[in-house]
């Protein structure tokens, strides 16, 4: 269906929940499915609805957004509790054994200090037709009625539609969208029409709108090669002033000095 947030498609979802150890390779499936760690599955089983309370959910798509979250929000006191796998990337080992920040995977973390705070880092290409199923899987284990959902995404500046030529824009630029339930102001200009979000970011926002969740999306447009460089990562910095996440901010000293070349 077409929505305010972009073009999204509905597909059947499927979940995986077994007793295999989390370090074992997961069987390939055609639809996206979620795989929780053994300890988190045990915790979910203690709730009648098989869901954990979520007050804050940060979802970062792509290397730049993930780099920002890793350096400014997600610090050492976060535990890897799950992953979402598409079943289409046969060349990648689908496992919870993370190798590096550049893994083409979607991992889910939870704060060990605030058990209702979750982060999803997605550095994988999710097919548009899998967007609905992917989002259903992410929210399947989280109780989000009162949650704040922050979505970060990056696209090339050539996809930004404007009366101003791309060459005249001061790139990177940040634009925002929010659901009708989000009470605060955007920390940047709203995404101008006729620009629309597509794929999984659009589907996340549609899910939040339909289910009455406070959701906000910040989209960075950049001319950086491979959509990631220091300037692109730092373009998300205004997000740190958000009331809902500012208490969890912990900027790494090396990044403050400009030493983010590793991203």
DSSP 75-91: -SSEEEEEEEE-S--TT
Cα 224 from Cα 230, distance rounded (Å)? 9
Length of the chain: 263
Cα 156 from Cα 186, distance rounded (Å)? 21
Sequence spans of domains, the chain: 2-256
Domain with residues 2-256, CATH architecture = 3-Layer(aba) Sandwich (3.40)
- Please count the other Cβ atoms lying within 10 Å of the Cβ belonging to residue 164: 9
pTM comes to: 0.83
Cα 104 from Cα 101, distance rounded (Å)? 9
Which residues, including other chains, have CB under 8 Å from residue 181's CB and lie 6 or more apart? 208, 209, 212, 213, 214, 215
Cα 231 from Cα 52, distance rounded (Å)? 36
Q: What are the mean pLDDT values of the chain's consecutive 10-residue runs (263 residues total)?
A: 48 40 49 91 95 97 93 86 75 57 80 94 88 94 96 94 87 96 93 93 97 97 90 93 76 56 45
In the block, tokens 């339909």 appear at: 210
């Amino acid at each position: 269906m077409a929505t305010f947030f972009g073009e999204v498609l509905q597909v059947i979802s499927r979940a995986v929940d077994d007793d295999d150890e989390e370090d074992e390779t997961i069987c390939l499936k055609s639809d996206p499915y979620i795989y929780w760690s053994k300890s988190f599955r045990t915790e979910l089983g203690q709730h009648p609805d098989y869901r954990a309370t979520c007050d804050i959910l940060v979802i970062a798509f792509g290397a730049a957004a993930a780099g920002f979250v890793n350096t400014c929000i997600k610090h050492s006191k976060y535990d890897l509790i799950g992953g979402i796998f598409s079943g289409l990337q046969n060349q990648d080992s689908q496992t919870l054994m993370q190798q590096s920040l550049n893994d083409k995977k979607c991992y889910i973390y939870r704060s060990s200090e605030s058990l209702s705070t979750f982060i999803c880092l997605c550095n994988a290409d999710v097919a548009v037709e899998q967007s609905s199923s992917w989002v259903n899987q992410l929210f399947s284990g989280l109780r989000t009625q009162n949650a704040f959902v922050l979505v970060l995404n990056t696209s090339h500046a050539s996809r930004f539609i404007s009366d101003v030529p791309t060459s005249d824009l001061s790139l990177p630029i940040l634009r925002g969208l929010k659901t009708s339930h989000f009470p605060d102001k955007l920390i940047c200009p709203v995404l101008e029409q006729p620009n629309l979000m597509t794929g999984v970011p659009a589907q996340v926002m549609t899910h939040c709108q339909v289910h009455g969740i406070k959701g906000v999306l910040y989209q960075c447009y950049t001319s950086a090669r491979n959509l990631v460089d220091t300037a692109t990562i730092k373009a998300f910095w205004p997000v740190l002033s958000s009331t809902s996440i500012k208490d969890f901010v912990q900027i790494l000293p090396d990044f403050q000095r400009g030493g983010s070349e590793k991203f």
